[in-house]
Structure 1
Amino acid sequence: MRALQPMPHAPGFLRRHAAWPLLAFVVLVTATMAGNGDLWLADRLYAWEGGRWALREAWMTRQVLHLGGRNLSALLWLTMLAAWLAACLHGGWAPLRRPLGYLLLATAGAAAAVSLLKGVTAMDCPWDLSRYGGRLPMIGLLTARPPELPVAACFPAGHASGGYAWLASYFFLRVAWPRARHAGLAFGLAMGLAFGIAQQLRGAHFLSHDVWTAAICWFVALGLYLAFWPRQLASARAPA
């Protein structure tokens, strides 16, 4: 059986999949970080929860959406790994080897990229800030962190990456089952939003943390898609 290939790209593929998402990212980051949208939303969530992060240890937000969500994402990845191994060993599944290999690498790569950035940005979680009942001052992304402050690693949103990493399902399905590709997009968005909103309700992240995470996951998935199927790049660059 022949190897699977992505569905043909209509002209303007990169505009729709790269330029427009990048523009949306810039607008959202400007509104949340430079425009204080982060504080506006967090202030209202904090007040709604009674002047404390009442949902920080709630069963739904912590046990189901945080711990359970993390386990679900890991289980999905292991399931895809098992499918890829089966495709390597079973000739009838051979056409799925490359698409499944892409999906494994894209999801793991996106989560790893977010984790790497968390280690170098040194930003605090909302629940650590004096504005929201903690003891630390607000330090911006591009502001030098005073050395006497404790180590921080809350930006971008690590838990949400376990959901948004599955945006790669959209590109996987463009190859394996093109008609279902938008279901893959919806799946990744739904998981990312569920995990991200839960963490915002717990006081673990600002909205911008999730915006950055979604963008990282999307562009890692897009970049690897074009790297795995490079012959599609010429048609992706075709003018509209």
Structure 2
Amino acid sequence: MRLAELTPRDLSAVLWILFGFLAVMLAGRWLKVDFHLADTLYRLQGDSWALRDAFLTEDILHRGGRLMSQLMGGGVIMALIGSFLLSPLRTWRRPLTYLFLAVTASTLTVSVIKHLVSMECPWDLVRYGGDTPYIGLFDPRPTTIPGTACFPAGHASAGYAWLALYFFLGATVPRWRWAGLWLGIVMGLVFGITQQLRGAHFLSHDLWTLMLCLSISFVLARLMFPASPSIPASTDAQRVSL
């Protein structure tokens, strides 16, 4: 499978988005948006994380949401395998390969960063009933404080990784691409807000995850999809039936 190349315009767009995102993150840090929001959620739950182990947030939205994303991924893998075995699915091979790689790369990147960068969850902090002081992302970390894996937001990546559906559908069934975009946004928001309600993440953790997933999906799409539609117009019937 031959890959395209990122154009200077693509790289410029990515850099501008990155600089804009970093500016927003710095402004949010200065305004202490993370703490203001977490303080409010903590106070509304009676100065505790009462929703941490609640049935809706833990069993349905956390565990159930993760299972749903895994099942969606399994469906993509099965369809990709089918594209090698069934002639009607052959034209879907490249888009399905893209979707598999984008979702996998997004979730794996977030997971790797979580284990490389130590940062506490809100529920770990003294401010919210825990036993650890707050240490910023770029602050030196005392060697006496053990490492944690709360940044970026892993559960939100199970939703935001599916932003890749926008590019997948844009290359296959363009009229559905916005539905794909909204599905990824809604899943990411629901999973992210769930974890904030549980005290597992700050807002900025989710925003970093969103940025990573969107960037990976965009870059892979520009590398893998040619300028012309990857599925011929004659396969409209196959698109609908799929």
Q: Which residue of 2 aligns with 1:171?
A: 167
Corresponding residue for residue 95 of structure 1: 91
Find out whether 1:104 has 2:115 as its counterpart.
no
- CA change 1:16–1:73 in 2 (3 A) is farther
Picking from 218, 221, 226, the partner of 2:222 is 226
Give the letter aligned to residue 131 of structure 1: R
Q: Which of 70, 73, 77 lines up with 2:69 in the alignment?
A: 73
Deviation at 1:35?
2.3
Cα distance, 1:27 vs structure 2: 4.5
Please report how far the alpha carbon of residue 26 of structure 1 lies from its aligned counterpart in structure 2 after TM superposition.
3.1
Change (3 A) 1:17 1:104: farther
TM-score, normalising length: structure 2: 0.86
**In structure 1, C-alpha distance between the alignment counterparts of 2:201 and 2:207, rounded to whole Å:** 11
Unaligned runs of 5+ in 1: 1-12, 233-240
Deviation, structure 1 residue 57: 0.5
Task: Return the letter of the residue paired with 1:123.
Answer: M
1:217 to 197, 210, 213: 213
1:43 aligns with 2:39: yes
Superposed displacement of residue 226, structure 1? 1.1
Q: Relative to structure 1, is the Cα distance of residues 177 and 19 closer, same or farther in structure 2, using a 3 angstrom cutoff?
A: farther
**What is the correspondence of 1:24-173 to structure 2 with a 5 Å cutoff?**
25-173=21-169
1:32 is displaced (CA, Å) by 2.8
Query: Taking every aligned residue pair, what percent have the same amino acid on both sides?
Result: 47
- 1:167 and 1:17 map into 2 onto residues whose CA distance is 18
Query: How far off its partner does 1:120 sit?
Result: 1.5
Residue matched to 1:237: none
- Summarize deviations over 1:34-55 as a string: whole Å, max 9, x none: 3210001000110011000010
| CA distance, structure 2, for counterparts of residue 23 and residue 184 of structure 1 | 26
When normalised by structure 1's length, the TM-score is 0.87
Secondary structure at the aligned position of 2:208 is classed as helix
Q: CA deviation at 1:202?
A: 0.1
Deviations 1:133-191 (A, max 9, x none): 00000000011111111221100000100000000000001111011111111000000
Q: 1:32–1:207: 8 Å Cα contact kept in structure 2?
A: no
The answer to whether the Cα contact below 8 Å between 1:28 and 1:211 also exists between their aligned partners in 2 is no
Q: Aligned pair count?
A: 221
Q: How much is the aligned-residue C-alpha RMSD, in angstroms?
A: 2.0
Q: What SS does structure 1 have at the residue aligned with 2:29?
A: helix
| Matches of 1:177 and 1:230, distance apart in 2 | 15
Q: Secondary structure at the match of 1:142?
A: coil
Cross-structure match for 1:8: none
Unaligned runs of 5+ in 2: 1-8, 229-242
The Cα shift of 1:193 comes to 0.2
Partners in 1 of 2:61 and 2:14 — Cα distance?
A: 30
Contact 2:114–2:151, Cα closer than 8 Å, also in 1: yes
Return the letter of the residue paired with 1:211.
Answer: L
Q: Secondary structure at the match of 1:205?
A: coil
Could you give the per-residue CA deviations for residues 8-52 of structure 1, whole angstroms, max 9, x where no partner exists?
Answer: xxxxx8599746754652343133323210001000110011000
